[in-house]
Chain A
Amino acid sequence: MEILEYGFMQRALLASLMVGLVAPAVGIFLVQRRLSLLGDGLGHVALTGVAIGVLTSTAPVGTALVAAVLGAVLIELVRARGRTSGDVALAVLFYGGIAGGVVLLSLAPRGQATNLESYLFGAITTTSGGDLAVFAAITLAVLLVVGLLGQRLYAVSDDEEYARAVGLPVLALNIVLAALVASTVVLSMRVVGLLLISALMIVPSAVAQLVARSFRQALYLACSIGLVVSVSGTTASYYTGTPSGGTIVLLAIALFLVVAAAVALREATARRRHRRRGDVHAAHPHEHGPGCGHPAVRHGDHVDYDHDGHLHAPHLTGTGVHYDEHGTDSAPADRAATEGAR
């Protein structure tokens, strides 16, 4: 493939692969915690770190990492301590981060300040070999921590009050999660840009949450989706000449819209089918049971009753007995469809 012949594109694709995998692995805990915008805020804070790096001629990735982690810890401490002021304190920190970044960058010697756009919107093709080494270290560290502490992070994200009551170290785990987010922000800023980082953390998780049945499934699915949209978005941006960050995020959002529409359609169809089946014997005059006159038919884990060629599966509801249509004797496949739709 032509795209792989260029060193800069090889590095770009490797970077997008790591980002695509890591961002949703951290983002899913933020979605669970309903703190989806934390990544955005830390992206703002990271900009100040970038500016300090540019001004002091140190690697911006390092200074951004320090700034974002410090910001993350500060946010968690404010959240743990404060009540009403927490929201405002976060806003001040976030806006302070981006304002500080812009002002500090403007003080940099002429020529360097133009880097601002590459940090805000990503400049994946400028990824150097050194950047890749740092990215790989961050990727390994983040995946290792998620692997080790994933269940605890889930517990705290799912029900913080319960976690505290039973003695899990809630503040420490929250700080770990915030530090993971900060690391991911720095990892992603060259690929999708500081303004779009949150999207790559959140949108794949949002897609996964629509179709997954378990948290583990959602986590794996979100990582797979992130990986696919990240790599394919980077590839597409090479051919279309569009910025990689925007392309990746638009691709992810398109996927979200398609899946959301498909799920809505499936649910509407299932509801309609259930209603139609219910209407067959809407006013059910008769309670099925042993010896009721209708033949009992063993059906998997329960017994149905053959009622005029339909299989009726009685189940108790809050208001009495309700009958599900489980198809006809000769159509066991129909039963599978009914089960699947429920």
Chain B
Amino acid sequence: MTPSSSDAVRLRDAHIGYDDVAVVAGVDLTVRHGEALAVLGSNGSGKTTLARGMLGLATVLGGDVELLGAPVGRLRDRGRVGYVPQRHTVSGAVPATVREVVSVGRLARLGLFRRLRAADRVAVGEAVAAVGLADRMEEPVASLSGGQQRRVLVARALAAQPELLIMDEPTAGVDAASQDALAEVLGRVSAAGTTLLVVTHETGPLASVLTRAVVVDQGRISYDGPLAGAETGHGDHHCGPEDDGARAGYRMDQPTVSARSARSLGGR
């Protein structure tokens, strides 16, 4: 997408955390432009903190965190990085339409005073159409189902036409149809050259899109390789919440004893 030789993400001996407490410690990670990476790990493993460090939402306490060729704190035009937060619903206190929420994604690329122009409105329309909600454009977001609201958040990120898209648990609590729709959208986005970084404890239908995986355990990367390898090496990542206790295999959403103790040391 960008004729830059630098990588989309480069972490060297990165320590990331909150209030001077490192949750992620000594991580090295390089993600090339156009890669589709799954960041796997149990609750409390530090995978979300890793992503939040890249977004400037958690503090880089040591080492280097570079995004699109620049240190994370000095990246100009942050709109080049898209973000889908781990949030179940969109609705704020005051009603807002799908168009209004998704338009916010466009603002980051416009500076402080520029208003949305025709090209921006086209980008917003395309982003909403990409997640299959074109006919709901003018409806209040609160009237949509949980899965559809998640798709609105994805559209908000897509509206910025980001070079790097970071998503935190995009499939958690989302119905199967919306998960499939999301996988299809991400497949297209990835094919268009956007770098994907998806933090998740279950890849589900996204497994068809994501090619590489890192597994985070106790704030460190314990596996880095093909997604399939992460699954054979660490048990079944596909089991969802509905399988609760039905399988004996390793599950990403059950913290190990060591992960729990890491969390009790102040991690999150």
Write the residues of chain A forming the contact surface with B, with a CB cutoff of 8 angstroms: 28, 31-34, 83, 148-149, 151-152, 154-155, 157-159, 161-169, 205, 208-209, 212-218, 316, 318
Stretch at the interface among B20-28, B95-103, B182-190, B256-264: B95-103
Stretch at the interface among B104-112, B125-133, B204-212, B227-235: B104-112
Write the residues of chain B forming the contact surface with A, with a CB cutoff of 8 angstroms: 19, 55-57, 75, 77-79, 81-83, 85, 87, 92-97, 99-101, 103-105, 107-108, 112-113, 115-116, 138-140, 156, 160, 175, 177
Residues of B close to A318: CB separation below 8 A: 175
Residues of B close to A214: CB separation below 8 A: 95-97, 99-100, 138, 140
CA distance A148 to B110 in the complex (A): 13
Tell me the smallest distance from the CB of B56 to a CB of chain A, in Å: 7
Q: Are A164 and B57 in contact (CB under 8 A)?
A: yes
CA distance A214 to B141 in the complex (A): 9
CA distance A205 to B140 in the complex (A): 17
Give the contacting residue for A157; candidates B56, B92, B113; CB below 8 A: B92
CA distance A212 to B143 in the complex (A): 12
Number of A-B contacts (CB under 8 A): 97
Q: Are A159 and B85 in contact (CB under 8 A)?
A: yes
Given contacts A164-B55, A213-B139, A213-B140, 11 further A-B contacts (CB under 8 A): A32-B93, A152-B107, A152-B112, A157-B92, A167-B77, A208-B94, A213-B97, A214-B96, A214-B140, A215-B94, A215-B100
Residues of B close to A209: CB separation below 8 A: 93-95
CA distance A51 to B112 in the complex (A): 37
CA distance A157 to B55 in the complex (A): 19
Tell me the smallest distance from the CB of B194 to a CB of chain A, in Å: 15
Nearest neighbor of B52 in chain A, beta-carbon distance: A165
CA distance A316 to B156 in the complex (A): 26
Residues of B close to A166: CB separation below 8 A: 78-79, 81-83, 105, 108, 160
Q: Are A216 and B104 in contact (CB under 8 A)?
A: no
Q: Are A151 and B116 in contact (CB under 8 A)?
A: yes
Residues of A close to B115: CB separation below 8 A: 151
Can you list 16 residue pairs at the A/B interface with Cβ under 8 Å? A32-B92, A152-B107, A158-B96, A161-B57, A161-B85, A164-B55, A164-B57, A165-B81, A166-B108, A167-B75, A167-B108, A168-B108, A169-B112, A209-B93, A209-B95, A216-B100
